[in-house]
Structure 1
Amino acid sequence: MTENADGVSAGISRRKLLATTGLAGAGLLAGCTQSNTGSDQNGGGDSDGGSGGESDGDDTTPTSDVLSGDIEIAGSSTVFPLATAFGEIFQQEHPEVNISIQSTGSGGGFANFFCPGETDFNNASRPIKEGEMQQCEDNGVEPVELTVATDALTVVVNNENDFATEMTVEELKTLWSAESAPTTWSDVNSDWPDEEIEFYGPTDASGTYDYFIEAIIGEEGPGHRQDYSATEQDRTIIQGVEGSEFAVGYMGFAYYSTNTDRVTAVAVDNGDGPVEPSLETAKSGEYAPLSRPLFTYPSKQSLAERHVAEFARFFVDNTDNEQVVAEEVGYVPLDADQKAEQVDKLETAIEEANA
């Protein structure tokens, strides 16, 4: 196993979802998906069981019964546990496929790995930017945007904090804006204690960072404060907030959902009263403005490789899997219409890649 710069082992879930839970390996997803991958052992992509049909490449190119090859994935720390969950189960189904996943941040993944053509997928917690699209185009890489879940970006405080468990969007903006840059809680709200704030959050390579600016600070505003402990490791944010009574941080909901005893989630008031982050409030849209879509971007060029295309199908075919996406990882699954749209988009891309 290899490790990225932040010490995240490629191919291993931070939560070790599949090693210890009742997923029972490949059996669970094999029963929940209509993906071609479920029948590759009996004839690969030529099976009639695929959700999106067969590509031209499968019709004209002889294939073996066994999928094999390497798949390189980088990008969002938020999407990391979902990609890892599906990757590990896919490898149980197809042990000769090696899937390596790095948590580099959405922007770090695009700039340093995906757009230079070094990875097959980039996970992202926000849409690809115009500059990243241009970088990819300059290198002959064509991203295919696939929505895979919905997240509730979560602000957390220490469990001893009994004063800021509810915050307005304006208070969050004051906390994190480079312009206001408060040093004590009383600088944000005069009713709060005159205690120094410790800040923890993702780096500027993170899609979570970008989305927080868009949703809370404003893209035309003064920008995100830089005097905070920045990391691509969400567990470090949890540890920091847990260890300091007057700390605050933010991250994807999945990491909070497995640490609810260690930190407290802040209910966000967007004008209609405070709403706590949850799968239900994210799905309904009540948890505004911090509900957001999550993405993975396969390279169309990589989709010409059968094992990459089959993993992409497997990933998308399971975006409506309640047990894995919601119960095990902690995100809102796609509904049937959303999934069908992503399946169609992927199948079109695979067909074009094999044309």
Structure 2
Amino acid sequence: MKSKKYFVLLVVALMSAILVACGGGNDDSGANADANDTDSENQNESAEVEGNENAELEGSVVIDGSGTVYPLMAILAEEYMINEQEGVSVEVSRAGTGAGFQRFLAENGTDFNNASREIKEEEQQLADELGMEVKELKVALDGLTFVINPENDWATELTQEDVVQMFLADGGIEKWSDINPDFPDTEVNRYGPNENHGTYEFFFDEVLEKQDLVDSVNLQQDYSTLVNLIAEDPNGIAFFGFGYYVNNQDKLQAVSIDFGEGAVAPSLDTIGEEADYAPFTRPVFTYLNVDNAKSKPEVLDFAKYVMNHINDFAGETGFAPIPDEEVQGFIDYLEGL
């Protein structure tokens, strides 16, 4: 009887030990499960972060302004939408620098304004009044180009003084023969972009030094109209950005300008701040609404794309590139937003 009692107690003790061992195993499994759950959550969070960084963007980017800068920004927009972000719509218009600033410096205005001149003091003041942070991004160098009809074989080379006097109200030039008696005794027909364009303002401010233009000058809003007018007028001469000449060489010829050391033809090699065509060289810009760049990822992403690829496309659209160190400075700024 006593031995049977001891046997029962021994069985109970063994069972208790087994249960404790099993219980301990369950506790370890629970801890491991918790750890595995935590690791899984961390991995999921990492995957989500990585996915957000590489996610396709959606939305729209709205750009207006300079007709001169338009071809460059248009090709960048097209490349961006095709090769970078198919879900982002980039709209590029060309109202002209001044008219573009009016759209840009407004409540719910455009994201960028292309400009063939620097922002004016009164425009910057308006931005300040609106509480808008604006960043100037220099994108290329352009050469103010004078163009004539292909049939014009007498005015292929002119001096800087010739083209200035030709467009001045008191320049004393009515006929081509007033410039050179060997030229035809026919009236000079002058054309150019109107006051909405930064090219007009650059010409008026820097080339004519704010002297009045001749009354007979035909000023147009659309650059394609200017191209067609010269293409149809053997006695015409017009001014605009080098890119519009490059894209219409079958209809126009460029005038080589003598700045005092021999005639220089505008080209990607001669256009530059220290190059031979320097007196008629100017920087062109796009202005960024920094507040929009901070609140709309697609705007900032497009700005970065522009500055990372600007020199790749400048030459294709008739612009000389800006120095790489200047480009990198803008990229660093954008990366810091």
Normalising by structure 1, report the TM-score: 0.76
Of residues 182, 187, 206, the one that matches 1:191 is 182
Q: Could you tell me whether the CA contact under 8 Å between 2:191 and 2:239 is conserved in 1?
A: yes
Say whether 1:335 aligns with 2:323. yes
Match of residue 13 from structure 1: none
Stretch moving more, 115-124 or 207-216: 207-216
Q: Distance in 1 between matches of 2:145 and 2:49?
A: 40
Indicate the SS of the match to 2:61: strand
Match of residue 267 from structure 1: 256
Of residues 285, 296, 299, the one that matches 1:295 is 285
- The one-letter amino acid of 1:231's match is Q
Runs of 4+ in 1 over 6 A off after TM superposition: 43-47
Q: Distance in 1 between matches of 2:166 and 2:149?
A: 15
1:138-217 aligned within 5 A: 138-180=129-171, 182-217=173-208
Counterparts in 2 of 1:190 and 1:245: CA distance versus 1, 3 Å: same
Of residues 71, 87, 104, the one that matches 2:77 is 87
Of residues 221, 227, 250, the one that matches 1:232 is 221
Aligned positions, number: 287
Match of residue 8 from structure 2: none
For 1:224-265, what per-residue CA distance to the aligned partner results, in whole angstroms no more than 9, with x for missing partners? Answer: 334322223222111111101100001111111121121110
Match of residue 96 from structure 1: 87
Match of residue 279 from structure 1: 268
Q: RMSD value over aligned CA atoms?
A: 2.1
Counterparts in 2 of 1:45 and 1:245: CA distance versus 1, 3 Å: farther
Q: Return the offset for 1:339.
A: 1.1
Q: Distance in 2 between matches of 1:288 and 1:181?
A: 27
Q: Distance in 2 between matches of 1:306 and 1:272?
A: 50
Q: Return the offset for 1:191.
A: 3.5
Indicate the SS of the match to 1:164: coil
Q: Return the offset for 1:44.
A: 12
Q: Which of structures 1 and 2 has the bigger CA Rg?
A: 2
Q: Distance in 2 between matches of 1:226 and 1:70?
A: 43
Q: Distance in 1 between matches of 2:79 and 2:157?
A: 39
For 1:19-38, what per-residue CA distance to the aligned partner results, in whole angstroms no more than 9, with x for missing partners? Answer: xxxxxxxxxxxxxxxxxxxx
Show structure 2 runs of 5+ residues with no match: 1-46
1:344-355 aligned within 5 A: 344-348=332-336, 351=337
Stretch moving more, 93-102 or 68-77: 93-102
Q: Return the offset for 1:204.
A: 0.9
Of residues 63, 66, 71, the one that matches 2:56 is 66
Q: Distance in 2 between matches of 1:194 and 1:99?
A: 50
Indicate the SS of the match to 1:281: coil
Q: Distance in 1 between matches of 2:133 and 2:321?
A: 26
Say whether 1:78 aligns with 2:68. yes
Q: Distance in 2 between matches of 1:136 and 1:277?
A: 36
Q: Distance in 2 between matches of 1:80 and 1:258?
A: 13
Q: Return the offset for 1:342.
A: 2.0
Q: Could you tell me whether the CA contact under 8 Å between 2:164 and 2:207 is conserved in 1?
A: yes
Q: Distance in 2 between matches of 1:44 and 1:311?
A: 23
Q: Return the offset for 1:63.
A: 6.5
1:128-139 aligned within 5 A: 128-139=119-130
- The one-letter amino acid of 2:122's match is G
Counterparts in 2 of 1:106 and 1:341: CA distance versus 1, 3 Å: same
Q: Could you tell me whether the CA contact under 8 Å between 1:181 and 1:225 is conserved in 2?
A: no
Q: Distance in 2 between matches of 1:226 and 1:89?
A: 42
- The one-letter amino acid of 1:79's match is V
Q: Could you tell me whether the CA contact under 8 Å between 1:77 and 1:232 is conserved in 2?
A: no
Counterparts in 2 of 1:176 and 1:65: CA distance versus 1, 3 Å: same
More helix by share: 2
Q: Return the offset for 1:157.
A: 0.7
Show structure 1 runs of 5+ residues with no match: 1-42, 48-61
Q: Could you tell me whether the CA contact under 8 Å between 2:193 and 2:220 is conserved in 1?
A: yes
Normalising by structure 2, report the TM-score: 0.80
